[in-house]
Structure 1
Amino acid sequence: MDIPFFLRHAFGDISRFDPDRPVLALEDEIPLTLRELADRTDTYARGLQRLGVGTGDRVGILLYNSIEYWIAYFATVRLGAIAVRLNFRLRTDEIKYALDDSGTTVLLSEPELLHEIEPIRDDVGVRHYLSAPSDHARPEWAEPWSVLDDGTNEPLDAPRPSDDTPAMLMYTSGTTGRPKGVLWNHGNTTWWVAMQLMEWKFDQDSVTMITGPLYHIGGIENYTLPTIAAGGKAIILRSKNFDLERTLRIAAKTKTTDLLLFPSMINQMLELTNLADIDLSSLRRIFTGGDALMPAACDRLTALLPDADLVQLYGLTEGTPIAVCGAPGFAKERPDSVGRAYPFTEVSVRDDDGVPVEPGTVGEIWTRSPANSVGYWNKPEETAATFVDGWCKTGDLGIVETGALRIAGRKKDMIRSGGENISPAEIENVLIQHPDIVDAAVVGIPDPTYVEAVCAVVVTTPTSNLTENDVVAFCTTRLAGYKKPRKVVFLPELPRTASQKIQKFKLRRDLSDPNLARTT
């Protein structure tokens, strides 16, 4: 099955969907109908054809969240080309790496981001730079967006992609360093949509809002594409200047039923003093993932919104975006766990030799499903190291407890101190319980005596006068002595990827700078 099926399936004589139903909206603006989305997709596809795009070509998308982003994605995959979804936060050298690595030949970009590209535009293989509609001026060397619109309604002449036709190339978040291009095809994308429909039963009454960027797997493939496939309505937020209260008011106005909130957003939500003034009665589910949501936050959220089910998730772009999730009510019963295996998904916890471990033992999480990615773009060695017999070695640590999975951190994040293995997640769970701490991360730093020492990096409330000694004392009463932080660093915010994963490699790198610490 090909991805454009989700557009054309409403136009058959015995279709179950009305093509004139609204399916896609930018915030609370007038939504596009499925018919309008399909027509504009064909228009963009014809425009890309005129630029020489065909099967296997790479089309870069460097756009903010917008309706145009969705249309560009559908148009690219309709031609059998590969949509290279680029992070708009990248700087010049990072963009050059992605363009070179992917072999992008056409780039669809915001005009102000094209200025970021100007120094390297003659050094990459891009033949056409198209500037999206914007209040910002288009560089003279870029082509106008209007080249995508031929003003005709001629049928699109392009073969349908097959299951194994590559569809999307996404560069990983980079929690460990240089990103790798993760390749998806039409088959695993359509399988992934079907798996979500089976688990969450989106329907024509579903109104699903995502709060992340569309260049991330959680922007299109998760939640919103299956909602559109079911005849429901997907809502996307504008990029930049995220405001949680404004987001919740849009959710209330649009009667959102399913809402994606990353753990850091939920923590902000719990601090809102006027949350009771926002009518969220339409909410039936809140999805959260990317990082662990601490049990205390789970308890507070379910108390504030008892009618909305909190669904904790675990997955990754390479190895099934949601490999594990909780059933309805699960977060209330087991807030420390992310749940059980997703439909058509196998999950195994294994030791360093790849042998499954007994329940109750920490090991690396392996996943296998029809929604595992094809592999890494042009990186056969990395692909062979990560994908084994259909399994994806996630690099994450987990432990199976009473039939459910609890995340224990990244395999390479495990701290080895004084001969003991120390889980950062365990310490983070303690730190976040302090009333003055709103965010926390724990990493290992070099230590001449213990090899590594525990370092806590915390974000405090604006009025807090918390000291390093205060943090250590708080942990000392709740953790074994060897687990307590040996150093505490205070930051205004933690470095995160677009999917809200903490970039611990940056913390480890930067902690060599003594000016970062505020200690007593």
Structure 2
Amino acid sequence: MDVGYLLDRVEPRLQTLHPDKEALALETGETWTYGKLNEMTNRYANVLSGIGVRKGDRVGMLLFNSLEYFALYFAIAKIGGIAVRMNFRLESEELEYILNDSGTKVLCFDSSLSERLEPVRDRIPVESFICYDADGEAPAWADSWDKLLKGDRELAVRPTLEETDPVMLMYTSGTTGRPKGALWTHRNTIWFATLQSLKWNFDGDTVGMTTGPLYHVGAMEDVALAVLLSGGTVVISKSGNFEIRRTLEVIEEKEVTDVFLFPFMIYEMLKLNEIEAFGLTSLRTIYSGGDPIISWAIDRLNELFPHIGLVQVYGLTEGTPIAVSLDPADSKTKGYTAGKPMPFTEVKVVGEQGEALPAGEIGEICTKGPAVVSEYWNKPEATAKTFVDGWCHTGDLGVLDAEGFLTISGRKKDMIRSGGENIYPVEVEDVLIRHEAVQDVAVVGIPDPKYIETVCAVIVTKPGWSVTEQELLEFTDGKLARYKKPRSFVFLDELPRTASGKVQKFRLREEFKHLREPQVKF
């Protein structure tokens, strides 16, 4: 079985899904049925085959969120190509690296991004450019998107595909440096959609909303593809300029039942002055991942919307995007954890020598299951280091309790070693975010000649609010041990984040590594 099966079900040979059932809906209003989605997919697939895309060829997707994004992805999958889904925020040199590393043959891109491709066009292996020019004009060196629409509605040629054939190349978000391409197979994708559908009982009545960029697994593979597998409807948010108020309005307008919100989105939601004006009566579940959710937000969400279940998830692109989840029923007693393994997924915590650690001991989190990829593209050394005996070594620190619940302690590189003590940033962040003036926070370690590292808190204040370093420090009294308290504070307008909502702490460490201590008193 391959990814194309999700749409094959509307065709006469299967007909297990009615073609007139709504499949996709943009938050701005446009909708496609499953029949329409399959037709557009076949048209695109026929054109791509016609310009020489064969099984195993890489097709780049440098596009904003749209209905067409899904059709292009499924088209590439049906003809055995490999979709290279790229971050539209990347600059020219970053795009050049990915296009060369992947050996992309055809690149489909948005017209507004042509200026970033122009400087590197002669240094990349792309043979054909296709431009999505809904709000602009295609450059002279690219074909218009209309070319894809000219394909026949019935798929002409479909190669024999195996479950182990690759379908998507996702370059990791790069919280620690140069991205690596995680190679997803049809098997990884189908299994991951299946285990979500089984876990959360998705069906034809499910209306799932994705709020992130579709190039990332946190927006397409998380929830969206699982909802399509289940015959439900996917609501797609527009790209850029995220507004939590607008998202809540769409949830009510579209009667969304399930939505994926990154932690920072939940924090913005809960700090809206008019939050209690939203009933969100159709919404049954909020899924969230990327970073651990601080306990303040869990308590506040349960207080305001007791009918909404919060499902915290943990995972990573190459090691199962949702490897662990916390059921809403466990949020009151185990809300500080990421939960337990998903169906068909195993999790263990290992020590420095790779030995499994007992409950209560912090070590590296490892995951195993059918949604764990087997390799990084053209990176044999990184592959051998990360994927060992079927286990993905995540680079994240965590601890399992006696009942099998996993608590995330942070990235190995994020742990702060100060004066002989280990400090886990999430502990400090959980305290600081509770201050009424704080909108967002990230804690990193910066070099110190005496203690090796000290704690630096990077703060984003709520609009119209201000707070001093001393006030924040005093707020930690009675909540944090002395050695865990920040010795430095930095105030920013926003935190640097990846597409999955993770704070890029390596950038903060680099930017503030020479920071001098402010005069704060303990």
Task: Give the TM-score range, shorter chain.
Answer: over 0.9
Counterpart CA distance in 2 for 1:348 and 1:371 is: 16
Counterpart CA distance in 2 for 1:40 and 1:517 is: 59
Counterpart of 1:285?
285
Q: Does the 8 Å CA contact 2:64/2:88 hold for their aligned counterparts?
A: yes
Q: In structure 1, give the amino acid aligned to 2:489.
A: V
Counterpart of 2:457?
456
Counterpart of 2:441?
440
User: Which secondary structure state, in structure 2, belongs to the residue aligned with residue 376 of structure 1?
Assistant: coil
Q: Does the 8 Å CA contact 1:490/1:518 hold for their aligned counterparts?
A: no
Moved more, 330-339 or 388-397: 330-339
Counterpart of 1:245?
245
Counterpart of 1:409?
410
How far the C-alpha of 1:515 sits from its partner, in A, is: 9.9
Counterpart CA distance in 1 for 2:296 and 2:75 is: 44
How far the C-alpha of 1:323 sits from its partner, in A, is: 0.7
Counterpart of 1:179?
179
Unaligned runs of 5+ in 2: none
Q: In structure 2, give the amino acid aligned to 1:243.
A: E
User: Which secondary structure state, in structure 2, belongs to the residue aligned with residue 54 of structure 1?
Assistant: coil
Counterpart of 1:421?
422
Counterpart CA distance in 1 for 2:517 and 2:12 is: 61
Counterpart of 1:157?
157
How far the C-alpha of 1:150 sits from its partner, in A, is: 2.5
Counterpart CA distance in 2 for 1:271 and 1:38 is: 41
Counterpart CA distance in 2 for 1:412 and 1:154 is: 51
Counterpart CA distance in 2 for 1:50 and 1:37 is: 20
Q: In structure 1, give the amino acid aligned to 2:49.
A: Q
User: Which secondary structure state, in structure 1, belongs to the residue aligned with residue 264 of structure 2?
Assistant: helix
Moved more, 474-483 or 44-53: 474-483
- Evaluate the alpha carbon distance shift between residue 513 and residue 58 of structure 1 in structure 2; reply closer, same or farther with a 3 A threshold: same
Counterpart CA distance in 1 for 2:373 and 2:141 is: 36
Counterpart of 1:192?
192
TM-score computed with the length of structure 1 as normaliser: 0.97
Q: Does the 8 Å CA contact 1:488/1:519 hold for their aligned counterparts?
A: no
Q: Does the 8 Å CA contact 2:46/2:155 hold for their aligned counterparts?
A: no
Equivalent runs, 1:119-518 vs 2, <5 Å: 119-150=119-150, 152-403=152-403, 404-512=405-513, 514=515
How far the C-alpha of 1:447 sits from its partner, in A, is: 0.7
Q: In structure 1, give the amino acid aligned to 2:510.
A: R
- Evaluate the alpha carbon distance shift between residue 327 and residue 272 of structure 1 in structure 2; reply closer, same or farther with a 3 A threshold: same
User: Which secondary structure state, in structure 2, belongs to the residue aligned with residue 213 of structure 1?
Assistant: coil
TM-score computed with the length of structure 2 as normaliser: 0.96
Counterpart of 1:102?
102
Q: Does the 8 Å CA contact 1:375/1:383 hold for their aligned counterparts?
A: yes
User: Which secondary structure state, in structure 2, belongs to the residue aligned with residue 64 of structure 1?
Assistant: coil
How far the C-alpha of 1:411 sits from its partner, in A, is: 1.1
Q: Does the 8 Å CA contact 2:172/2:317 hold for their aligned counterparts?
A: yes
Q: In structure 2, give the amino acid aligned to 1:414.
A: M
Counterpart CA distance in 2 for 1:306 and 1:150 is: 50
How far the C-alpha of 1:118 sits from its partner, in A, is: 0.2
Q: Does the 8 Å CA contact 1:78/1:160 hold for their aligned counterparts?
A: no
1:197-244 deviation digits (Å, cap 9, x = unpaired): 110111010000010000000221111111111111011111011111
Counterpart of 1:117?
117
Counterpart CA distance in 2 for 1:40 and 1:465 is: 51
Counterpart CA distance in 1 for 2:517 and 2:127 is: 44
Counterpart CA distance in 2 for 1:28 and 1:250 is: 9
Equivalent runs, 1:77-88 vs 2, <5 Å: 77-88=77-88
Q: Does the 8 Å CA contact 2:263/2:288 hold for their aligned counterparts?
A: yes
Counterpart of 1:5?
5
Q: Does the 8 Å CA contact 2:10/2:19 hold for their aligned counterparts?
A: yes
Counterpart CA distance in 2 for 1:366 and 1:132 is: 40
Counterpart of 2:60?
60
Q: In structure 1, give the amino acid aligned to 2:10.
A: A
Q: In structure 2, give the amino acid aligned to 1:93.
A: E
Q: Does the 8 Å CA contact 2:44/2:71 hold for their aligned counterparts?
A: yes
Q: Does the 8 Å CA contact 1:489/1:516 hold for their aligned counterparts?
A: no
User: Which secondary structure state, in structure 2, belongs to the residue aligned with residue 249 of structure 1?
Assistant: helix
Counterpart CA distance in 1 for 2:189 and 2:349 is: 25
Identity of matched residues, %: 48
Q: Does the 8 Å CA contact 1:28/1:254 hold for their aligned counterparts?
A: no
Q: Does the 8 Å CA contact 2:8/2:14 hold for their aligned counterparts?
A: no
Q: Does the 8 Å CA contact 1:443/1:456 hold for their aligned counterparts?
A: yes
- Evaluate the alpha carbon distance shift between residue 38 and residue 458 of structure 1 in structure 2; reply closer, same or farther with a 3 A threshold: same
Unaligned runs of 5+ in 1: none
User: Which secondary structure state, in structure 2, belongs to the residue aligned with residue 122 of structure 1?
Assistant: helix
